[in-house]
Amino acid sequence: MEVINPATGEREETVEEDTESDVEAALERATAAYEKWCDRPIREREKLLADAGDVLRENKRDYAATMTREMGKPISQGIAEVEKCAWACDHYAQHGSTYLENDSHPSPAGSTVETAYESLGPILAVMPWNFPFWQVFRFAAPNLTAGNVGLLKHASNVPGCAQAIEAVFEEAGYPANVFQSLLIPSDLVDDVIEDERVKAATVTGSGPAGRAVASTAGDQLKKTVLELGGSDPFVVLDDADLTDAAETAAWARNQNGGQSCIAAKRFLVQTGVYDDFLDQFVDEIESLTVGDPMDEQTDIGPQARTDLMEDLHEQVDASIEAGARALIGGEPMDRDGAYYPPTILVDVPEDCPADSEETFGPVAAVYEIDDEAAMVEKANDTEFGLGASIWTNDRERGRRLAREIDAGCVYVNQLVKSDPRVPFGGIKNSGYGRELAREGMLEFVNRKTVWVE
């Protein structure tokens, strides 16, 4: 695996991939580790998770620097990501045992009926590069605490992150092999899923990756959770606080270089406030600093890989050829590294790439729409259904429209985000299943009915 620094285009290091025999040995170790780990009292598992949170905080700058070097995330955002991982550890360390308490059910006199929640075994997590720590910890924190063991197949451009995460659990005192990173190419994933020792799989990533894993797991009758792409609408109604909406919109589109499934991508603005919002939106985006991701003052670093930047530019080019206009940006930056500038497209025609595809980078498509009904129709006019954001000073209006938008999560007067306290996931081509909160913890357990007469 070649680690190419996207800010410079230079090779940082080469990491040797695991072989098929390495994978076989890892599966054997995971199976053996699970036999003891699943019987460990949950209070002990919670304590170890709290210790993992401490390790994350103690080393947050080092971990952030690894992210920055491998995938270009501005280091200040990398530090925030590590802190969020520690928060997830704190959350499940505090609430894990409560989430796993047996549920009682109505039953005849003289009997008791409960649902018990029992772990499954080794779980494979196929994870992406864009939030290389957070995506893993939102899987690992609940699932290890539930008594499962984890096998991580991370993206090939962030092997250092994968190794660092495994080391976090080791340093926290977890038993050996409760969490292992498999440095394998994608063509070995099917073999891992098909192995009878692996009991389930979760994927965060692209639609093709999710379909491939789900297909293989389905053939083996194994549970999957998929968190895939998104083309989230950001709906600005005519009674919105435009200053707040524009400031949040700029960040919702450009955080992490726009490389986020839940980033706001399509901005639907009601006619009466369209011009004012657009002016403020442009100003807010132009105030963001594009630069060296190791500089803590940088807001937007490079795209994660040159080929990904080129794909994004092809989408922008095709959209402009179809009739869209670029108010700002629209061309790769003339500097070393995979830098693409924040871009705003207006007059976006239907079915062009910026309208119908997921743009995974700092490109905003802005639409002027007359009324609520048309805004809801446009918000739902996508194959995706991950998140949506609605902006209005009438909270009841926001609640009403939230129920009309097809998405796994809708935020009113807030950007779409994941939070350990609430379930997270999508519908349609954005996947299925939920992560985080109690719902996420119960995805990979056996919900066993126990009837005692």
pLDDT, tens digit (0-9, with 9 covering 90-100), for 336-356: 999 999 999 999 999 999 999
User: What's the CATH architecture for 232-419?
Assistant: 3-Layer(aba) Sandwich (3.40)
Q: Which CATH number fits domain 2-228+430-452: 3.40.605.10, 1.25.40.10, 3.30.300.130, 1.10.1660.10?
A: 3.40.605.10
Q: What pLDDT, on the 0 to 100 scale, is given for residue 141?
A: 98
Q: What is the CA radius of gyration of the chain?
A: 23
Residue spans of beta strands (DSSP E) within 90-137 = 103-105, 112-119, 122-126
pLDDT tens digits, one per residue of 156-179: 999 999 999 999 999 999 999 999
Q: What pLDDT is attached to residue 329?
A: 98
How far the first Cα of the chain sits from its last, in Å, is: 58
pLDDT tens track for 287-307? 999 999 999 999 999 999 999
pTM of the model: 0.97
The reported pLDDT for the residue numbered 189 is 97
Torsion of CA 243, 417, 269, 329, to 10 degrees: 80
Q: Where are the CATH 3.40.309.10 domain residues in the chain?
A: 232-419
**Residues labelled as active-site residues:** 227, 261
Which regions of the chain carry the CATH code 3.40.605.10?
2-228+430-452
Confidence band of 316 (pLDDT split at 50, 70, 90): very high
Q: Is the dihedral of CA 56, 84, 290, 67 positive or negative?
A: positive
Per-residue model confidence as pLDDT tens digits over 234-249: 999 999 999 999 999 9
Name the residue among 366, 143, 109 with its Cα closest to residue 245.
Answer: 366
Q: Give the residue-averaged pLDDT of 30-37.
A: 98
